[in-house]
């Protein structure tokens, strides 16, 4: 009996209980690849499904931009760290791995002038993948950037409204 338990232990540790299934991981990868295929041209933030915290921060940043006419934190596309795409824009490769109980990380090697690595953290909610964070060479965490900067934008907006 001890030998059987010893042999089964690595299998039990291979994937956390409740981790995304292979089919769900394939859906996560396809979802992120779809985001990257849609990037050449005008990027529509509303076309992406975000986890609640990231969505709230993006919405607050856009509200600041709309109210002030200034460019907010999200002045480009976080998925490529760009405002425009180069003629050689192309997904070179992508991969997916389970992350935690109901998450995935999709890694994309993207050529946009030069080849760079991007990672997208996803959470599975009600059968749909939601973007929880985006990591790039220039922005280690888009979520953390928004967490740091959006409250300052809002404080600035409150101060400017108080002057009028």
Grouping H, G, I as helix, E, B as strand and the rest as coil, residue 164 is coil
Q: Residue 27: which of 133, 102, 79, 100 has the closest Cα?
A: 102
What is the mean pLDDT, run by run of 10 residues, along the chain of 164 residues? 39 55 97 95 89 97 92 91 93 97 96 97 97 97 97 89 68
The per-residue pLDDT for 149 is 96
| CA atoms of 47 and 25, how far apart (whole Å) | 20
Could you tell me the pTM of the whole model? 0.85
The predicted pLDDT at position 164 comes to 54
Query: How far is the C-alpha of 45 from the C-alpha of 50, rounded, in Å?
Result: 9
pLDDT tens figures, 75-103:
889 999 998 999 999 999 999 999 998 89
CATH 3.10.450 for domain 19-162, yes or no, is yes
Listed by start position, the domains of the chain span 19-162
Strand order across the beta sheet in which 128-135 lies: 90-99, 103-112, 114-125, 128-135
pLDDT value for 100: 92
Residue 163: its pLDDT value, please? 62
Residue keyed to tokens 């059987």: 4
């Amino acid at each position: 009996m001890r030998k059987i338990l010893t042999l089964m232990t690595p299998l039990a540790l291979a994937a956390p209980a409740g981790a995304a299934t292979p089919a769900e991981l394939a859906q996560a990868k396809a979802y992120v690849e779809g985001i990257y295929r849609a990037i050449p041209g005008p990027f529509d933030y509303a076309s992406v499904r975000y986890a609640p915290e990231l969505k709230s921060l993006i919405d607050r940043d856009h509200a600041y931009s709309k109210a002030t006419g200034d460019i907010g934190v999200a002045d480009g596309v976080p998925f490529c760290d760009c405002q425009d795409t180069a003629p050689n824009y192309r997904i070179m490769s992508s991969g997916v791995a389970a992350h935690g109980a109901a998450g995935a990380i999709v890694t994309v090697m993207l050529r946009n002038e030069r080849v760079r690595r991007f990672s997208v953290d996803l959470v599975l909610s009600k059968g749909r993948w939601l973007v929880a964070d985006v990591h790039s060479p220039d922005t280690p965490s888009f979520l953390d950037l928004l967490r740091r900067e959006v409250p300052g934008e809002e404080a600035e907006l409150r101060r400017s409204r108080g002057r009028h």
